[in-house]
Amino acid sequence: MKRWMIIALLFAVGLWLVPYSVPLLFALATALLLEPSIRRLQENYKLKRAHAVTVIFSLFIIILGLSLYFLVVIFVQQVMALSQKLPYVLNEATKVLDRLIQTWQSYSSSIPQEIIDSLERGVNTVEQMLLSFATNLTQSLVHYIAAIPAFLIHFLVYLIALFLICLDLPQLKQGMRRYLSERTEQRLGMVVAQLSKAGIGFLKAQFLLSLITFFLALAGLFVLGVDYAALMALVIVVVDILPILGTGSVLVPWGLISMANGNNTLGIGLIVLFVVITVVRRIIEPKVFSTNLGISPLAALVSVYLGFQLLGFIGLFVGPVVVILVEALAKAGVIKWTIKL
């Protein structure tokens, strides 16, 4: 009884420390992902662990730095292109509003006053919602800009912790083994191996889906002649990760405004692009998840759908993780299905 109380206490303390240990947890997860490459380098070239860790860590930093550099360069270039187009976009939006106001004025004389009052109240409500949204957006931008120094500190802690954990990972594993029985160690090893494999597969699946969405959006926007196509494709990818919004939150309003402004080719093209991206994503998503996570396409589809329905956005990640964890525990013999009907 005392043993289980100590375990429960340690578990509770661990959960309490999780929000304060995010950089360290990410560093540990990254170290586990890099560990196979470090071992392979040691075995193939007979290097000491410190040298192998230095090489892999340096390659990781170079790849991460180049990725961030190219993303920033593309983002800045596309933002500059968009800023040059912004006065034109605002002018076109103003023309659309002017035409709507003129249409409303031509019909308002034949509409009962009660309906006019109701519509005007609705318009005022929408205006207040847009004003509130703009205010919240500005406050969020200020908040994120102010959080950059703190993020840089956390990122530096993450990099330092990653290097040190990579160096000491074998000793950390050896220290854990002292507190585990042989049977528990074998089971835990099977579960960790399965989860590590699934974790890498999950990241690969998300990256592949985002990459497909980006190139579909980029190709479609180039065909439609959009000047800042790379920036908008990147925005679409970011929005597509958030299922509450989805790609339709960008492409559909953009298409409707274009058609209202008389640019039917662009408007219809954007809506068709939204349909194409949505259909392609829904077709390949279960297959990509099942291939990279090691679960069946049906299990991938059900876990993603039920996770989102029950927990929202976070459920997209929790659902597959629960399925993978249950399968790993079953393979390790921790969970045994003995029910027969």
Predicted pLDDT of residue 188: 73
pTM for this entry: 0.61
pLDDT of residue 101: 61
DSSP code at position 280: H
Tell me, what's the pLDDT at 177? 75
Residue 313: how many CB atoms within 10 A of its CB? 14
* Ranges of the chain whose pLDDT falls below 70: 1-4, 7, 15, 18, 74-113, 115-117, 119-120, 122-124, 126-142, 144-145, 199, 241-246, 294, 296-297, 312-317, 331-341
Supply the angle between the helices 248-260 and 49-108 in degrees, to the nearest 10.
30
DSSP 3-state assignment of 246? coil
- In the chain, % helix, strand, coil (3-state, to 5) comes to 90, 0, 10
Q: In the numeric block, which tokens belong to residue 280?
A: 């392609």
Backbone phi and psi for residue 107, each to the nearest 5 degrees, phi listed first: -100, -15
Per-residue pLDDT at 54: 94
Q: How far is CA 334 from CA 29, 173, 328, in A?
A: 23, 21, 9
Q: pLDDT (tens digit, 9 = 90+) per residue, 48-76?
A: 999 999 999 999 999 988 887 777 776 66
Based on DSSP, count helices (H) and strands (E) in the chain, helices before strands. 11, 0
